[in-house]
Chains A and B, each alone.
Chain A
Amino acid sequence: MTLFHFGNCIALIYAPYYMTYKYAGLSEYGAFWKCFQAGGIYIFTQCLKMLVLATFFDSLSSPFVSDVLKAVVDVADLFGMALILSRIPGKDHNKLITTGFGWAISEVVITRLLTLWIGARGAEFSWIYIQKCLESNILLVQHISTATLVWLFTRNNLNKAIKPFVIFLLAATVLKSLWLDSTLIALNMGPWLTLAFKALCTVFNGFLTLNVYSKVNV
């Protein structure tokens, strides 16, 4: 709408990231360069995904099939995160937060910044930009918990009883675009309710992950 509105959106989208960086201990460990590296791997993964999508899947197939295929390609995200986890040195908590944070911030910078600059600064007011910002905040939590899950999965000393649960959560995260979006479309909720529902799912997922993590990391 105006530059002021653009400022509002920027504050809403990036202040939580800044706070996470500042208060979750990343700044103390000088994790800036590590986050940067994580971002690089994020971009690499996305390029790879695009390459695979463009090479092997044509857009002509039915929407359901193409959605499933896209979700399958999203598994690459997990490999990307695993790569970051294996490459970046760091102490337990810090390593996970660095990975999730680096992943999330590069996603937000690459996918949201341009949209906001062009859209939120325009004359037309639309709630969609505020919604996108809030969604990015949800994604931050989501990515950190995904990083934790990937880390848990790669641990050898994980309890056998917990392992299927971790795999279930990982699968749920990767196929989120499939089950969550189709549920939301089926329920036909407005954009705000959709957002709230996504937030609820993510927080729930986060708590479950935290629970497992705390058990492992006593």
Chain B
Amino acid sequence: MFFENFEFVELKYFTILLLPILIIISPSIATTDVDIIHRLTQFDTNDVQFGSRFSNLNLEIRSLETWSTGRHCVLTKMEDLTLETYNEITKKAGGLIIQLPKMFNNLSTDTMETIYQIEQNMLSSSVKIPVYFSPHNENLDQIISDINVKASGASNSNVKSSAISDLMLLISSNGYQAITSGSDHTPNKKAKLPIIQGELVPSKNNKNSEPTRLSTIVITASINPFRISNHVSFNPDAALLLILIDFFSKLYSNKKTTPNHKIIFLLSESGSLLNFQGTKKWLDDNQVQDVDFVMCLDTIIQPTNLEDENSLYMHVSKPPKEGTVLNSFYKLFKETGEHNNKTIEGVHKKINLAEPHLAWEHERFGIKKITSFTLSTVKNYKSNARNTIFTRNQGDLMNSLQSNAEVIIQTLTKLIFDVNDERLSSSISKVSKKTVESWIGIKSTLQNNDVKNAFERYLRNVKVTFEKPDYRDPDFMLYNGAEAQLNIYNVKPAIFDLFLTILIASYLCVFYFVLNYFPNIYNIFKNDVGSTKISY
């Protein structure tokens, strides 16, 4: 009995204590919509830091014109930003939230170029403030236009401002507070870059050619694990690689064909931003012999119309010598290109060993004395087009990929099968839109295992290896916190609260006097009654 009573008493006190504690620790209600925003990618390669080094944001939002100190977070549209203002903001402001354009295609050429410059700048430098990207959304659009109107209003009123009107403006002003949650910027030590490889060997039926004597062609492409932010994926090179796999696996499985090369396909998840670490790892792990050439694919379609999309460049570290396979490939490529209204040009750039950051993927092979080249629509390795997230519409990109894929397939077919009949090669090399469509949206090797399944379906000896950052001396480092939740609160300045206090105090004074004089009011009523002498 005693214990039962005791428990009951305990429970009662517990409830009495618990309720206030629960109330006190209860979080404040967030009434605004929560938006997911993407942080400017943070990464290190060869001990050089890139991207946004911070992630936490709890600052007042200002527009491009009105921000002044490190206590302000600038909210702007990507279109309104210039390189100078971006640099200024990253040096002095407390944070930056950029709304990405709704339709990049509709912007003027100048704006596009500015955006590319800023993007390039973001990827090649590190900033000490959190920089976030938000996809276009109505809510944010509203806030941006609101703060911009306020900015223009404030600049107009500067003409004839008195102290009182300034104060009133200050009191009536509506502020916005940006608070991010779920963001961090700790190193992701468990990050790993997958490298997937597979090979195409001529089918066993045509044994007349010795398999050991087959020389090898290596075709490589990279999936960019990130660009300025992680949320947009644009990997035409990987798509082209898979189109090639699709196409050549059909030709190789046909028993009537006599291919004279073995093809190794290599897809690594480290682009130029990560200094082709995946390729480096693969080269360290694998001994490749009898390689005729390595063909790397890099920016195989132009993301925008800014550069000529009908040119293809063959980047080499050493000009091809007469009589080599590389030279015959170049000649075939040029020929096929002309046939397909493409300008083919060879570009020669020596490997700069003093530079830790390599310009092209083929230089990784070049260092190991393997004949290699890169096919690209980009002439200069510094081009902004290589790592952009801003692209034309999907249809144009697909057409471009289709036509470029056809040229490359034709050239390779001619080389591998020793056919020189233009009509034959062009008739078999038709790439259907469906094939392009199915591969253009590739995001990552490991996503749904799509890429791995494709490799396993078409190729032999499929192997997935992973490149991880070294524990002590990492060549590269990726960071957590790619995205965060953004809450934007409607806030009032502190002076407004003070003003409100004064108002409330005066209201309470009035209330006090009414209360004190209430008996007088009552007496008026009473006397009124008394004079008319109504009795009950």
Contact = CB atoms under 8 A, between A and B. Distances in A.
Interface of A: 1-2, 4-5, 8, 11-12, 15-16, 19-20, 23-24, 114, 117-119, 121-126, 130, 137, 157-159, 162, 210-211, 214-216, 218
Given A15-B511, A124-B491, 20 more contacts: A1-B491, A1-B492, A5-B497, A8-B500, A11-B508, A12-B508, A16-B508, A19-B512, A118-B26, A118-B29, A123-B177, A123-B179, A125-B490, A130-B500, A159-B536, A210-B525, A214-B522, A214-B526, A214-B528, A218-B529
A216 B536 CA distance: 7
A11 to B, nearest CB: 6
Interface string B147-181: 00000000000000000000000000000010100
A38 B395 CA distance: 74
Contacts of A2: 494, 497
A27 to B, nearest CB: 13
Interface centre among B28, B30, B528 (most CB of A within 10 A): B28
A114 B489 CA distance: 21
Nearest to A22: B515
A214 B529 contact: yes
Residue among B177, B525, B530 with the highest chain A CB neighbour number at 10 A? B525
Contacts of A122: 28-31, 489
Contacts of A8: 497, 500-501, 504
Nearest to B487: A123
5 contacts: A4-B497, A5-B500, A114-B23, A216-B536, A218-B530
Nearest to B525: A214
Given A24-B515, A114-B23, A119 B497 contact: no
Nearest to A158: B536
B508 A15 contact: yes
A19 B508 CA distance: 9
B3 interface: no
Most buried by A among B31, B177, B521: B31
B534 A215 contact: yes
Contacts of A216: 536
A8 B503 CA distance: 10
Contacts of B487: 123
Interface string B506-536: 0110011001101001100110111000101
Contact of A16 (B32, B501, B511, B529): B511
A170 B90 CA distance: 66
Interface residues of B, number: 36
B494 A126 contact: no
A69 to B, nearest CB: 30
Q: Is chain A's interface secondary structure helix, strand, loop, or mixed overall?
A: helix
B494 A4 contact: yes
Question: What are the 4 closest A-B residue pairs judged by CB atoms, nearest first?
Answer: A122-B28, A214-B525, A123-B489, A124-B489
A177 B392 CA distance: 58
Contacts of B515: 19-20, 23-24
Interface string B475-510: 000000000000101111010010011001101100
A126 B491 CA distance: 8
B513 to A, nearest CB: 10
Contacts of B179: 123
A111 to B, nearest CB: 14
Contacts of B489: 122-125
A5 B504 CA distance: 11
Contacts of A211: 525
Nearest to A121: B28
B28 A123 contact: yes
Contacts of B511: 15-16, 19, 137
Contacts of A15: 504, 508, 511
A125 B31 CA distance: 10
A126 B529 contact: no
Nearest to B179: A123
B28 A119 contact: yes
Given A118-B26, A215-B534, A124 B32 contact: yes
Contacts of B490: 124-126
Contacts of B530: 218
B536 A157 contact: yes
B492 A125 contact: yes
Nearest to B527: A214
Contacts of B30: 122-124
Contacts of A114: 23
Contacts of B521: 210
Contacts of B29: 118-119, 122, 124
A15 B512 CA distance: 10
Contacts of B494: 2, 4
A72 to B, nearest CB: 32
Nearest to B497: A4
B23 A215 contact: no
A8 B23 CA distance: 19
Nearest to B516: A23
Contacts of A4: 494, 497, 501
Contacts of A210: 521-522, 525
B529 A124 contact: no
Contacts of A157: 536
Interface string B452-494: 0000000000000000000000000000000000010111101
Most chain A CB neighbours (cut-off 10 Å) among B504, B505, B521: B504
Contacts of A5: 492, 497, 500
A119 B26 CA distance: 11
A56 B278 CA distance: 71
